[in-house]
A and B are shown apart, each in its own frame.
Chain A
C-alpha cells in the first residue's frame, strides 16, 4: 500500500506540474493528500470488482491496478492511452481491471455504479462495486437518488465519500444543510463508518469490514473518509480562497509520512523506504518520457467508436 500511495502522489505531482507547464491540455484534478483512501479501499478489492470514479480519479485507477504509462499517455492525448487519447484525465478507465471510468459530471459515476451492481445481481456474479465521490457530490440529486436506489434493491455497493471539505472552490459546509454527510447515509438506511481518511491503516481496516459485508450480501454500505485536498480544485487553481493557516495545518497531516512512520516503527529500514520513494518517482518520470514520445492517435480515430448505426463521416 505504501508503494501505491507513492505512485499516486508522484503521478499527480508530475501531471499537475505538466499541466502548469503547458505540456498537457485540459483539466487535471490532483488527488494529492487523499492517497490513503483509494489505496486502503482498493487493497480490499478483487480485480473482478468494479469501481466508478469522478474527476479526481487518477488515484483510484492506480490503486485498482491501472498502468501509469497508459494513463499518462491518456493525459497527453496520445495513442496507447488507456482510452486511446479520446478521454483524457477526466475519463481514465480500464474495463479489464473493473475500472468503469472517472467521470466529468459530479455524481454521475454513482448512478452508473448502482446500475453496475444491478447487472452483477441480475447475472448472479460474485463482484462488488465501489463508488468513489467527493463531499460536493452529496448536494446533487442523482447521488441522493442512488443512495435510495441501492437500499431499495439491496445492491452490492460500497459508497466511498472522500470528504476533502471543498466543493470545487467553495467550502462544502457553507452550502450544505442538515446535520452532515453520515446523517444523509443514515437517512437512507445505509450502515456507515466515518474514519480518518489520512490513516491508510484505518481506511484499510474499515474497508475490509464494509467490503466483507457487501460481499456477503448484506446490501449497500457507506464509508465517510475525512481528508484534505492539498492543491486547488484544478492544476491551475492555486486555492487562494483557502486560509493559509488552514492549508499549513491540514497539509502537515500527510498520509504518506504517517504510513512511513508506522513502517519504521514496525522495523522497516529507512533506506528501503527511501528507495521506494525514488523508484516510484522514477517510474512516473519514465511514464512522462514515454508519453511525450508516443505518437498522436490516427486522424481516423475521430470517427471511430461513436456508434454502429449512423456512424459519422466527414459528410455527416
Chain B
C-alpha cells in the first residue's frame, strides 16, 4: 500500500501496463516534458521514449483517428484529450469510427483504445472547460464508459481499461487530480461494470459517480446524525453499469436518489431512474429523485458556478424530503 494522488495512481497504472505490454503507448498534447495537464504522465517519456509517450500537435481529429488506426493494427493506444470539452473535437472519430469499426466490418477487428477525457467543474474554468459529457458517450453503442472516483480506482480501472478490447471512454475528474488515498500498487485490474458500495444504509439508495461520490458520502454522514441511513453506491463504470448492485440496494431501501454533476436533462440519472421504475416499481416507497446541474452552460463567476453544483446540503434536504 502507498498513499498516492489520483494523478499519481493513474501514472502508476499506465507505467505498469507499459512495462507489461510493449504494444501499449500513449499520445496527446504536452505528455512529455509537462507530463500532461496534471502530471498524470510525469516522467514516463524519459522511461519509455518519445515513440511510446508521443507528444502530438493540437489535432484532436487525428489524435483520435490515428489511435484507431493503430488500435486496429496491433497496438493499444491510450489517447489523452485533456478535457472532455475537447473530446467533442474528436467526436466524429470516436462515434463514427472507434465505436463502430468492429461492428461495421463484421467483427474482423477490435479497437482496444483508451480515450481519456477528464470531466467536470474545477476552479472557474468556465463553459468550455467544465462540462461533464458522460451521457453523450453512454448513448453510443460500442463504447465503454468509466468514471473513477478514488486514487485506488484510478489505478485499478485504468489498468482494466488498457487491457479491455473495446474502446473505453475514460473520464477522470479534474477536481480529483490532487486527492490522495491508499493504493495497492499490486492490485489486479478492477472488473469493468462493477459498482462499489461506499457506505451502507437501509433508508435511501444514492447512486452516484466521480467527484460526487465524496460529497454524497459526506452528506450521508450528516444524515446519519439525523437518523437517516443512506447507502451510497459509486457506479465507477457507467457503461456497462452495475444494475444488480443498484437493484439489490433499492430492494432494501425502497428509495432512489441519483446524483451527478452533469446536466440533469438527458443525463444518465434519467436512465437509472427509468430502469429502476420499470423493473422495481412495486418496491419503491417514494418517487425516485435526481440531483444534477441545471441546463445552463457552466458560468465563470464563482457564486454562479456554485449554483450549478450539487452540494451536501441539497442532498441532505432531498433525502429528508424522501424519508418524510
Residues of A within 8 A of B (CB): 50, 52, 81-87, 91, 93-95, 100-101, 103-105, 108, 110-123, 141-142, 145-146, 148-149, 152-153, 304-310, 312
Contact = CB atoms under 8 A, between A and B. Distances in A.
B80 to A, nearest CB: 15
A40 to B, nearest CB: 24
Nearest to B95: A105
Nearest to A115: B69
Contacts of A111: 61-62, 64-66, 68-69, 93
Interface of B: 23, 25, 51-52, 54, 56-57, 59, 61-62, 64-75, 77, 92-93, 96-97, 101-109, 141-144, 164-166, 192-193, 239-240
Given A115-B68, A309-B240, A105 B62 contact: no
Given A116-B72, A145-B62, A149-B57, A304 B108 contact: no
> Which of A84, A100, A115, A145 lies at the interface centre, i.e. has the most chain B CB atoms within 10 A of its CB?
A115
A86 B104 contact: yes
Contact of B166 (A84, A94, A108, A308): A308
A149 B73 contact: no
Contacts of A145: 57, 59, 61-62
B96 A108 contact: yes
Contact of A94 (B77, B102, B108): B108
Nearest to B143: A307
B205 to A, nearest CB: 21
Contacts of B107: 84, 304-305
Given A94-B108, A108-B92, A149-B57, A308 B73 contact: no
Contacts, number: 152
A104 B93 CA distance: 12
A87 B107 CA distance: 10
Contacts of A114: 62, 65-66, 69
Residue with the greatest number of chain B CB neighbours at <10 A, chosen from A93, A104, A112, A145: A112
A123 B59 CA distance: 23
Contact of A87 (B51, B105, B166): B105
Given A87-B106, A309-B166, A123 B75 contact: yes
A86 B193 CA distance: 27
Contact of A310 (B56, B109, B165, B240): B240
A148 B141 CA distance: 31
| Chain B CB within 10 A, most for which of A111, A149, A312 | A111
B146 to A, nearest CB: 10
Given A83-B105, A108-B96, A146 B62 contact: yes
A47 to B, nearest CB: 15
A141 B93 CA distance: 13
A307 B75 contact: no
Contacts of A50: 73
B15 to A, nearest CB: 18
B61 A118 contact: no
A116 B96 contact: no
Nearest to A149: B62
A117 B96 CA distance: 21
Given A118-B69, A119-B74, A142-B92, 19 more contacts: A81-B106, A91-B104, A101-B101, A115-B69, A118-B54, A119-B73, A121-B51, A122-B52, A122-B70, A142-B61, A146-B65, A148-B57, A149-B56, A149-B66, A305-B102, A305-B103, A306-B103, A306-B142, A309-B192
Nearest to A147: B62
Nearest to A140: B61
Contacts of B57: 145, 148-149, 152
Contacts of B101: 101
B50 to A, nearest CB: 10
B70 A118 contact: yes
A305 to B, nearest CB: 4
